[in-house]
Amino acid sequence: MADSNQSPVAGSPAGRVIGNDIAFIFPGQGSQAVGMGRDLAAESRAARQVFDEVDEALKRPLSKIMFEGPEADLVQTENAQPAIMAVSLAAHAAMAEVLGRKPVPGMVAGHSLGEYSALAIAGVLSVTDTARLVVARGRLMQEACHLRPGGMAALIGIEEAAAEDICLQTGTYISNINSADQIIIAGDHDSLARAVQLAAARGARKAIPLSVGGAFHSGLMEPAQDGLNEMIESTPFDDPSIPIVGNCDALPLRTAGEVRAELRKQLMTCVQWKRSINYMVGSGVKRFVEIGPGRVLTGLVKRIDATAELLNVNSMAAARGLTA
């Protein structure tokens, strides 16, 4: 923890990604793409060790699906989730290798699945235990989607209070508050269709059904949450070495007990992403480093706080750029 209490040294390469005014953020499902992480594995020994450890933990060559596809296999929830997590941890390992030291930010956070990547970086879970929990999470969510079919929709340009009222009237759920003008709702297909129609009538700029497998972060995920809770209880957790801003309450998780409580409700609870970013900014964070595939979170942070400095580390070239 010593590094996190030091201010970045002006002009130093590591100063770009180390310090109390830095937060690392980790992406969730939907950021996957065939070929992600392949350059990390080819060019970074530390990243390659992460992929090998994940493959060993899962007893199957998940990295082959990441690097080569087919896409139809990669997008399966039980593959996509551990694959995104693995690339995030591998990118972080490559950063450390390039910098010659572990980069320690002031805070970490992850969007939905990304919260598990944050837990590993904060020392709460080993890579092996993170992989096992995440693959179980993906499998259980996939099973819950069959048991309780549903979907999700994005409401653009509507206030949170109006979205809450729409959900109350239609029996749907607010599942993600991503920014002031992007709220994701979830529910069974009939209820969701009614909610989309009502949102349009209430003045939403857009109300768009999403191409997802189920109603994530809603009551329809109860079967998955119940199954995951058994694994959470049997998995060893350490206290975080870095404060983790949790999805459910947008407040720091500082003990193993607080992390367990968060994960025991996360699948059925709204992801408070806007509040999480606002909390970190209010706590002095000025730069957000999105670590892992894609740039989804970078776009959301920009919409939440236009003054934030943003950086992506999703490739070996990006990791090497930290020393430029």
| Residuewise pLDDT in 10s, the chain (324 residues) | 233 333 333 334 445 677 889 999 999 999 999 999 999 999 999 999 999 999 999 999 999 999 999 999 999 999 999 999 999 999 999 999 999 999 999 999 999 999 999 999 999 999 999 999 999 999 999 999 999 999 999 999 999 999 999 999 999 999 999 999 999 999 999 999 999 999 999 999 999 999 888 999 999 999 999 999 999 999 999 999 999 999 999 999 999 999 999 999 999 999 999 999 999 999 999 999 999 999 999 999 999 999 999 999 999 999 999 876
Claim to verify: residue 205 and residue 235 sit in the same structural domain:
no
Residues 300, 28 contacting (CB under 8 angstroms): no
Residues 32 and 166 in one domain: no
| Known catalytic residue at 217 | yes
CATH number at residue 98: 3.40.366.10
My answer on whether 309 and 188 are in the same domain is no
Q: Kindly name the residue from 112, 175, 191, 218 that is annotated as catalytic.
A: 112
Our CA angle for 303, 305, 311, nearest 5°, is 85
Task: Please state the φ and ψ torsions of residue 185, each to the nearest 5 degrees.
Answer: -115, 160
Give the number of domains in the chain: 2
Preceding amide of 70 cis, omega within 30: yes
51 and 199 housed in the same domain: no
The DSSP 8-state label assigned to residue 177 in this structure reads: E
Q: What is the 3-state secondary structure (H, E, C) of 89-147?
A: HHHHHHHHHHHCCCCCEEEEEECCCHHHHHHHHCCCCCHHHHHHHHHHHHHHHHHHHHH
Task: Report pTM.
Answer: 0.93
43/114 same-domain check = yes
Which one from 31, 217, 276, 315 is the annotated catalytic residue? 217
- CA angle, 227 then 232 then 235, to 5°: 130
